[in-house]
Structure 1
Amino acid sequence: MLITRRSVDFGSARRSISFEPLNQHGISTTLDEDSEFENESRTERIHEKWNDPPINQWRILASCLAYTLMGMNDASPGALVIYIAAYYKQPYSVISLCLLAPAFGYILSAFACPLVHTYFGRWGSSVLSTLLLTIGYSIICFAPSLQVLILAYSITGLGNGVMDAAWHAYIGDLQDSNELLGVLHGFYGAGAICSPLLATAMVTSGIQWSYYYILLVVIGLVVTVFVGFTFLGETAEKYALEQEYLISDENNNKSQGTLYEAMMNKNTWLLCAFLFFYMGAEVGLSDWLITFMIEERHGDPKKMGIVSAGFWGGITFGCAVLGFVTGKIGENFMVSVYLIVAFASQLMFWLSPSIPVATISVTLIGICFGPLFPTTMLASTKVMPKRLHVIVVGFVAAFAGLGSAIFPFINGFMAEDHGTWVLQPFILILIFAMFCIWKFIPTFETTGMMNLVTQVNLKIRSRFQNLVS
């Protein structure tokens, strides 16, 4: 069925009324005979909504459920690392290899994501991501040898990387993407809240640490089936057709985006560096939080899961609520504010010996951290050409995963030699590095404070030019 949209242009340079045919992907090509660009075609792409077409509602729900699983995955090592070390009778420096292992999966995902999208479409990448997570959990629940355990964590890292690239590119291209990404990461935070509470409750009651992953296997299987049904129809052919409309750049160059082109763009490396340090701070803090509270603050092991839940609860609140605020005020400005508050809260968490103060401080850090990842992923879809979205998002997600693995690994060595107290100033350095890098990322917001300042400047410049002329 052919859908048309009536458009009216009352600009000073041209006045025209045209009927624009839209294809099934919401893309219209119009020939404006009255414009100064006569006989040149203009391509416009209409972004889908979260509920239009209706199947998007179920796809968003499937994405959120999968991110809940990812949150449970990422938060569980922080609650279990002290018990894993005791089970294998190894120091933290060796057990930290389990935290480093997902980095290899993330690196592989940077190269695998474009290929998976090309040959299997969005359906293939969505199903593969949750399936890889489930396979990793299936191995871990048997508490295999340390070498096999490291391999299993690498598989989960690959699943996380594919999932990040697939759904950040998909949701980032919808209308109200900032709010939707906030909700998506809110579900991630919800999973991360439940994970340390469940894991701590199980192991402190005498259940072997690896049996916690049986629960993740069950959840992973259910989510995989649900994702597979909701993304039916997102085939490789449909993805290829969409790319035909997304590969046009400012010069109407119909060349396919490549990994080399993405790597040659400085914004790619700025985004990678930001999330590299961000994930190092987030996961480095969460993975060693309970160990720090037990060893340095002498907290009750049965109750310290609450501190970790406070951190992830803050992230959930920040994702789900501040995502709406961030888009209204302005992404570029608000990220700087979040980082300043996070720095102050981290300093208070480090210097205060009080467990209640530490709990409040780490919750504030979580609230400020919550909007950072989805906002940065949104930035990657705003400052980069559309033909590079899947490639860049996958590449940025790989560096995020690399940071989430390398820094906790480094933390393990530092904790082994100097004690877990040394982790806190290290987190402060990472937050400061994030603040500096963010200042070099181009302004990409279309609403909010920065846009208001830009509009005022344009009006002042226009009036000044009129006075001069």
Structure 2
Amino acid sequence: MSILFLIVIYLSFISLGLPDSGFGYSWPYMHEVLKVPVEAAGLVTIIVTLCGAFSSVVSIRLSKKMSTGLIVTISSLLTGVAMLGYALADNYIIILLCSFPLGLGAGGVDATLNNYVAKHLSSRVMNWLHACWGLGAMISPLIMSFAIVSLNGYQDGYIIVALIQLSLAIYFFTTLKMWKKNGVNEQEDSIDNRDLPRVTLRNLTPWLAILTYFLYCGAENSIMVWLNTFLIESRNMTNEYINGTIVALYSGGIMGGRILTGVISNRLGNRRVIRYGITISLIGLLLLFINNPYIMMVSVLLIGLGFAPVFPSLMHETTARFSSESASRVVSYQMASANIAMLSISPLFGLIGSRFGFGLMIPYCIVIVVVLFVIIEWLNKLTPQIKKV
């Protein structure tokens, strides 16, 4: 596996992270320009995630007929066009229409690369891959805050993100031959799961594995989408630079935590780093009750650091819990459930927050994370822990 090819894979996930946190940061300003209520973000999220869920399931099947590189190229092109549409939109309907290609593009990259890396590369590479998503998600609110303060508003921020996405799509197109040279026969740190039984969706264990993604992504995305709204509406914080820094620290914590996890995951194992991560995230959520901007910076950083290993380590552990044939199917449904969580859990909080106060984001996420921990430990007891070969 060449270093250059790994760089291509990492760039793919940077491009995936760029649109995610940017929307959450820009929405408090967008809804005023578009003249729609703040909870209208929920419908945008529903469209993006529903399309992402559909794309997650379909892309795994498409990868048998198309190269992973081509799927990544097309997906990046779709997201770039969608971001350009967000920038030029002067009404809410256009935002909704642009959300369709955004969801399809994001789901295509997410499911295809997660399945590829989970099967053929190490836990270290999987965590560093998702650290690159965190890098993209951290850069995006900084771009948006810069555009709002120093340029002509969030529209210029979306233009910058669109240009980055489209440039990456062109670059990915030039690297299509590289995907053929680095085929699926090259495996490093693979998992010997040949003796694991084949499972179907009639069994409990795959449903628990799917449910973990539903819960985790629901909590992660709720904070991603509503954090800046929480700061403005619940904490009366209106300084764009401070808010942008807090939002960026959340994504930066996820990114930095995944870099760190990549260093230690092969030694500690996926299950242990997941336990540590959830514990740290709960400490961060509790600190978020304190209404002080500097403590909030620490708290969101801890939440991000704690969340960091959960998604990639659970994904990599899927190939250890199930046979190779079963794992591919479970991964596709895990990605779909992640999108369904963003379709339901995050918009649901938008409705709750708009009616009862956005300060409820903290207990809302604490309950989800506690339930997630219980489900993961239950799944661990039902599935054997095997070593890499």
Query: Normalising to structure 1: TM-score of the pair?
Result: 0.75
1:157 alignment partner in structure 2: 103
Q: Which amino acid aligns with 1:329?
A: L
Counterpart among 92, 100, 125 of residue 71 in structure 2: 125
Please tell me whether the aligned partners of residues 78 and 286 of structure 1 are also in contact (alpha carbons under 8 angstroms).
yes
Q: 2:318 aligns with which of 380, 384, 387?
A: 380
Q: Report what 1:189 is aligned to.
A: 134
1:58 lines up with 2:4 in the alignment: yes
The aligned counterpart of 2:349 is 411
1:128 deviates by 2.6
Cα displacement string for residues 398-435 of structure 1 (whole angstroms, at most 9, x for unaligned residues): 11122133222112111210111111110101111110
Q: Superposed, which structure 2 residues align to 1:27-426 within 5 Å?
A: 52=1, 54=2, 57-175=3-121, 177-205=122-150, 207-232=152-177, 234=179, 250=195, 262-302=200-240, 303-350=242-289, 352-426=290-364
Q: Distance in 1 between matches of 2:385 and 2:172?
A: 31
Deviates more, 1:267-276 or 1:80-89: 267-276
- What SS does the corresponding residue of 2:169 show, helix, strand or coil? helix
Q: Alpha carbons of 1:103 and 1:289: their partners in 2 closer, same or farther (altered >3 Å)?
A: same
Identity of aligned residues (%): 21
Q: CA RMSD in A?
A: 2.5
Greater Cα radius of gyration, structure 1 or 2: 1
After TM superposition, give the deviation of residue 249 of structure 1 in Å.
Answer: 6.1
**Given that residues 73 and 192 in structure 1 are in contact (C-alpha distance below 8 angstroms), is that contact kept between their aligned partners in structure 2?**
yes
Structure in which a larger fraction of residues adopt helix:
2
Could you say which structure has the higher strand fraction?
1
Residue type at the aligned position of 1:134: G
Residue 41 of structure 1 is matched in structure 2 by none
Alpha-carbon separation, structure 1, partners of 2:46 and 2:155:
18
What's the counterpart of residue 439 of structure 1? 377
2:236 maps to a residue whose letter is H
Structure number with higher relative contact order (C-alpha < 8 Å, ≥ 6 residues apart): 2
Structure 1: runs of 5+ lacking an equivalent:
1-51, 243-247, 448-469
Q: Distance in 1 between matches of 2:271 and 2:311?
A: 13
Q: 1:444 to 1:231 in 2, by over 3 A?
A: farther
Looking at structure 1, the residues matched to 202 and 109 of structure 2 have their Cα atoms a distance apart, in angstroms, of 24
The separation in 1 between residues aligned to 2:263 and 2:184, in whole angstroms, is 29
How many angstroms apart in 1 are the aligned matches of 2:327 and 2:78? 23
| Map of 1:450 onto structure 2 | none
CA distance change for structure 1 residues 267 and 138 in 2, over 3 Å: closer, same or farther? farther
Size of the aligned set, in residue pairs, is 377
**Structure 2 residue identity aligned to 1:205:** S
What is the match of residue 190 of structure 2? none
- 1:126 Cα deviation after fit: 2.3
Task: State how far apart, in whole Å, the 2-side matches of 1:276 and 1:227 are.
Answer: 30
Q: d(CA) in 2 for partners of 1:275 and 1:144?
A: 35
Q: Distance in 1 between matches of 2:64 and 2:302?
A: 41
Change (3 A) 1:297 1:326: same
